A and B are shown apart, each in its own frame.
Chain A
Amino acid sequence: MEANEPDVRIMKGNEALAEAALRAGMHAYFGYPITPQSEILEYLMAHGQKRGAIVLQAESEVASINMVYGAAGAGRRVMITSSSPGVSLMMEGLSYIAAAELPCLVANIQRGGPGLGTIQPSQGDYFQATKGGGHGDYHLIVLAPASVQEMADFVFDGFRLAETYRNPAMILADGALGQMMEKLVLPPAGSLPHRVPEWATVGKPKKRERNIITSLHIEPEKMEQINLHLQEKYRTIREKEVRFETFHTDDADIILVAFGLSSRICQKTVELAREKNISVGLVRPITLYPFPKSILNTLADIANAFLVVEMNAGQMVEDVQLAVNGKKPVYFKGRMGGMIPSPEEVLREVELIAEHHTVQA
């Protein structure tokens, strides 16, 4: 390969994510097998250790997230991945990690739930990912990829955001994105510098105070200060880090809102609708936290209605309703339990909405 030639590959989403993590300079990965994301652990076990990364298969997700706590507390770049039931087991650890302000990257390759559920793709963990998930007032920074390319790219973005804000970041993908093979350009290695931060517990030299990684502040006054500090950080994140994509929204009467895999389906629906002279557009939130509120609120002044499409019983739709704030009706179309909506069935919803709302000539 020539030096400047792009590194084009065909890879599974899970493998692209794993390879990107190595190229992003990940120091350590702690995993546990669970479908549909076991390829990440397998790939890193096969390639990671040879390339200098610490890769460990833990005894449980409970243990692995706490290994992340330890290694992140030592100031290293750390990643952990799992799928829905496994991510539920990590919620305790993530609350501690968020409270102790440790950067790390989590990927949830979602499957259908609740409970043991199914191994088919789902978006049923939106609430868990964006509202905190564990106990207490905290947030993860959540990125929602929609292609294998983004499965790789968002690893770099995730580490950068996590380290910038000393906050756990999450890639919220699903089983389809993890399993599908697509063409992608792999990001080059070495583009994300890292140094061990001064707060890390690496052994106390004589001349500095000891470093403590903790989430325990027994005095309520202190604990409130910690919370205020965290809320201030989340405010900054909401101001600076919102990312979204729009597709044909300029003249749209009906705006579809969908993330991840659903957004790909909706993109097709937009095309089908426009063939039928229904002017439909799409907003695709890329960051689910921070949520792209203001674009939706602005579009509510122009469009007649919103249709939120998700692979769950209606989770992001609540954030869309808050953003639209009653200006226009917000409809919902969801499939659950591992089912993926087809562009045509979304189109049928669009047609019903179009009948109810006067389409301007």
Chain B
Amino acid sequence: MIRGTIIVAQDTCKGCELCIVACPQDCIEMSERLNVRGYRYAQLKNDTCTGCVNCALVCPDVAITVYRQPKSTSKKIQPAAAVA
């Protein structure tokens, strides 16, 4: 099973919950806490994320960054994020 994870920009999220619907792994939930604008925000609720990107694709606020374990772990792991 490929492992992945997401980072949600908490203060950008407006709590629309579309990512929860889009997630095939049922690994996203809304926070109990409110962000600075008063919204609950999306967060991972377990470690079943596969980094499939679906949540990010439907996120209207471009609040989700997605990471995935490279297919071949023998390779040196160089995050593509270095470009950012």
> A and B touching (C-beta < 8 Å)?
no
